[in-house]
Amino acid sequence: MNKRFRYTALGLLTAASLLLTACGGQGAQQNEHGEHAGHEDHEQTSGELQPIMQIKDFTLTNTANQPVSIEKDLTGKAKLVYFFFANCPDVCPVSHARMANIMKTLDENGLKKEDVQFVSITVDPENDTPDKLAEYMKQFQADPNEWAFLTGSDEDLAAVRDQFGVLAEKHSIHDISHNDRIFLLDEKNQVMNSYNMSDGITNDVIINDMKKLTNL
């Protein structure tokens, strides 16, 4: 892989990830924490996908209160990873609904469920217990074997966010500024692309990138 591309892409990804979307409350109305950079800043839009950065193994807790390792347990040639919180009143349920739609249309888009893994990671462990996440995921008809909703300690979750370059700033139970961005990982847990869900990205773009990874 071209080193110059790798470091340029990584730098742009990190810079874009530092910009936050506020969920609910005054932050959402005034967007006081800034808009996302446009996806054209770093998203790969055509041709072969190249690794942007490597995600190291981490272990969090699923809705069955069991430890889950992204390397050992969350297998799949294409993984979609999203950071959220269950009390989010706006962007999180919208992005989760779009992920649910992608999951429902895998077959018609030529993707096998066994090749795909969805992962949603809370930024609010104080409120998002395994039981609460088990209830929350029902609204998206999420199968826990295909879509993992994960929580953990403040320390463990912060370490995971650091790997992805994701920030979260809590103002109240319904107002946490965080990145409304889905990350696409390959089977080696390399970030291959990411999508600003607040910037008009279409499901077709995500699905086509998933195909590039599952058809290797």
Is 71's pLDDT higher than 70?
yes
Average pLDDT, stretch 178-187?
92
Expressed in percent and rounded to 5, the helix, strand and coil fractions of the chain are 35, 25, 40
Annotated binding site for Cu cation: 88, 92, 178
Annotated binding site: 88, 92, 178
pTM (2 d.p.): 0.82
Can you read off the two tokens belonging to residue 135?
């209830």
Q: pLDDT, tens digit, for every residue of 22-42?
A: 565 444 332 322 233 333 345
Share of the chain above pLDDT 70, in %: 78
Residue bearing the bigger pLDDT, 157 or 33 = 157
Q: pLDDT, tens digit, for every residue of 81-118?
A: 999 999 998 899 999 999 999 999 999 999 999 999 99
Give 47's Cβ-side CA count (13 Å radius): 4
pLDDT for the residue 18: 40
Superfamily of 3-214 according to CATH:
Glutaredoxin (3.40.30.10)
Domain ranges (residues) in the chain: 3-214
Can you read off the two tokens belonging to residue 201?
């990205």
The four Cα atoms 202, 125, 73, 214 give a dihedral, to 10 degrees, of 10
